[in-house]
């Protein structure tokens, strides 16, 4: 798999990135540790060299599994993790990084990201300059190689960039969720930030495997996803039916078609979660799929039959209920 450089760094990342939210188990159901570890190792063998996790995923459990799966393969992989907004004071960032390093069984984190802006989820409002000072210190100490942010608006990006180099933005981005294109994407293009799209398959919706009657258990995070709620869900299913002939023409899955569309967007990579090795191997194939200008135009039009009805709130989930 051809690699791309992360932002302005010399860090080579795979365009398909393995996301490990599921590995933390919290918010997901029917996740098996050994199966997930095998999936990570299979992903690496298939050419996916970049792995994304976070301290909040299962309260460190995801990082622990990433460390267990990849520790003896460390020289072959790029590891990205994130610090939660409850740990954005200078000393908290420094301690959170140490804990992540320990769980990941590594001496350096390739990309360390602010997971959500300060103040999110009832966290203390911390000046971005203080948080960035800690991240810059970690970079100077050689404990992290690059700094990124996740779920930041353009204004928040611009403010953070006043205090140090930001090399990536991690937003929700898929054929069915395109808010990042309005403000953040032009900024990323102008300032050479890599866009690491999460929920790139709309948490599985873009695989086409769910029907109109499907319901997720309350313990599954997708039960709160706006895209899985009517009437938007029904609109998405209709769009999937229109995407299916394009996928057939390319002899690929709808999921890989959606990933290939993302990879064709400016400076964009795709984070994809998996439950097993077969899914990891299948997702890797998306990096070799080339779409024509007409394919991209047709997919854009189909996409907008869904995204035109998505609200402007960038958060994909109704965490507070209805």
Which one from 57, 61, 187, 233 is the annotated catalytic residue? 57
- Catalytic residue at 173? no
Going from the C-alpha of 47 to that of each of 149, 195, 251, 290, 299, the distances in angstroms are 25, 19, 21, 17, 26
Determine the Cα–Cα distance for residues 154 and 182; give it in Å rounded to an integer. Answer: 9
Q: Do 174 and 200 contact (CB within 8 A), yes or no?
A: yes
Active site positions, annotated: 57
């Amino acid at each position: 798999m051809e690699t791309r450089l992360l932002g302005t760094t010399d860090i080579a990342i795979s365009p398909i990135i393995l996301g490990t939210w599921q590995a933390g188990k919290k918010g997901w159901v029917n996740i098996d540790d050994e199966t997930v570890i095998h999936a990570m190792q299979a992903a690496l063998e298939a050419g996916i060299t970049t792995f994304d996790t976070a301290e909040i995923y299962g309260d460190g459990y995801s990082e622990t599994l990433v460390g267990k799966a990849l520790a003896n393969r460390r020289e072959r992989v790029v590891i990205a993790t994130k610090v939660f907004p409850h740990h954005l004071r200078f000393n908290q960032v420094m301690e959170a990084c140490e804990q992540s390093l320990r769980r990941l069984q590594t001496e350096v984190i390739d990309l360390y990201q602010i997971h959500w802006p300060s103040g999110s989820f009832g966290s203390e409002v911390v000046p971005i300059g203080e948080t960035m000072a800690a991240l810059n210190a970690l970079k100077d100490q050689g404990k992290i190689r690059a700094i990124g942010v996740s779920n930041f608006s353009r204004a928040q990006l611009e403010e953070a960039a006043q205090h140090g180099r930001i090399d990536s933005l991690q937003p929700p981005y898929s054929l069915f969720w395109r808010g990042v294109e309005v403000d953040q994407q032009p900024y990323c293009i102008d300032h050479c930030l890599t866009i690491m799209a999460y929920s790139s398959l709309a948490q599985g919706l873009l695989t086409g495997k769910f029907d109109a009657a499907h319901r997720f258990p309350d313990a599954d995070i997708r039960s709160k996803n706006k895209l899985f709620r009517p009437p938007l869900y029904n609109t998405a299913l209709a769009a999937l039916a229109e995407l299916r002939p394009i996928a057939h023409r390319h002899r690929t899955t709808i999921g890989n078609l959606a990933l290939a569309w993302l990879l064709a967007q400016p400076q964009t990579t795709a984070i994809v979660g998996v439950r097993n090795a077969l899914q990891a191997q299948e997702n890797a194939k998306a990096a070799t799929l080339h779409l024509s200008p007409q394919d991209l135009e047709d997919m854009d039009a189909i996409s907008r039959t869904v995204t035109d009805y998505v609200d402007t709130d960038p958060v994909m989930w109704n965490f507070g209920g209805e």
